[in-house]
Structure 1
Amino acid sequence: MSDAKDLAARIEDRLRSVIDPELGENVVDLGLIYAIAVAPGGAVRVTMTTTMNGCPATEFLRDGVEACVLAVEGVTSVIVDLVYDPPWTPDMMVAETAARF
């Protein structure tokens, strides 16, 4: 596994500690993380969404993702891009998480 892929995998694993306060599930398994891009030198860009535009937990989730990623060894900076295209749907959840709803 390349260094960038390894770092992206460690970031994704760590992001499972960021819990959506309304749904009580982590942002990865909810399907809110669309992409994790790692550039040389440890610069990271996370593309994410929320369950709906105007979600009251948006800033909480964005700040949580940013802090979480910055805490991963090897990360030197992070940009969190919040997008709503494609819009989130429950189909984006991992099967185990979706089964709880």
Structure 2
Amino acid sequence: MAEAPSKEQVLEVLKEVSDPEIGVNIVDLGLVYNVDIQDDGTVTVDMTLTAPGCPLHDTITRTAEMAIETLDGVKEARVNIVWSPPWTPDMLTDEGRRLLGF
């Protein structure tokens, strides 16, 4: 099996996953809280959404898992939605702020 990806590689592929309602990727929105990469090829990501009850919860979660699973060395991707800490616009990256016109 290929070597496990780096955290940077996981975050880079997650930049291809956008929140469809906002049109900005989940990394620059500040939604990704933690990336855990195991030697067995399991990658677990803790992330949040901009609002509880987001109707696209399952779509965003599955799209993120599928994106991670495209990386060499990934056997399985798991995305956990967490609500603590709650998301605020302060969590946007500089690129996220630029994309949203802040």
Q: Distance in 2 between matches of 1:53 and 1:79?
A: 19
- Look up the match of 1:76: 75
- Look up the match of 2:62: 63
Give the CA deviation at 1:77. Answer: 1.0
Q: Summarize the alignment of residues 8-87 of structure 1 with structure 2, pairs less than 5 Å apart.
A: 8-87=7-86
AA matched with 2:33: Y
For residues 21-64 of structure 1, what are the alpha-carbon distances to aligned partners after superposition, in whole Å with 9 as ceiling and x for unaligned? 01100000000111110011211110011001101121111011
AA matched with 2:42: A
Q: Distance in 1 between matches of 2:63 and 2:75?
A: 17
AA matched with 2:32: I
> Cα RMSD (Å) of the superposition?
1.4
Identity within the alignment, %: 38
* Equivalences, count: 98
What stretches of structure 2 of length at least 5 have no aligned partner? Answer: none
Moved segments of 4+, more than 4 Å: none
